[in-house]
Structure 1
């Protein structure tokens, strides 16, 4: 991941609604969630949700798949892993043992 990509991802996640959407989609796993279900879960109006979803797609953190007149959104787990790797690159001066908290933390198996 390049620096500008990391900045775009972190900027997108820096808004409480977008962070909530992303966390909801991570929780949903590879199956994702339909836009209407996201709006209902987070009590976000449709127009507002569309804006935030567009920002997350633009940042490369989620993808959308058309299903007829609806769209199913999914977290991009590769992008999430790349962002975490970018943030922890050379963590603890490269110590990749249990003394470095990110190295010893469990990761998502998605």
Structure 2
């Protein structure tokens, strides 16, 4: 893997979670530490078409920066907040994130599993 990565590049995209309405999302792994796969820290880009993307609570922490697009974001059933370019969101372990993507969306996320 190159030491220089462009988060706007769309090569090597893998399918991500589909929205409730069937819209598509894609992900691209940027970096993974040398730990065991289930405990490795990862950095990835996530790209999504407009739609609602609910996630179950997870055994990991995620911090992401919105690079483009706008969405409504709710953490653990909180009141949705509008996020957009430059927004930084921290999703604690065990909290269910919910995104209603309003415009084509791209984020850079760091995921840290917590066994």
Shared fold (TM-score, shorter chain, > 0.5): no
Q: Which has the larger radius of gyration?
A: 1
Q: Which has the higher helix share?
A: 1
Give the alignment's TM-score, normalised by structure 1: 0.29
TM-score (norm 2): 0.28
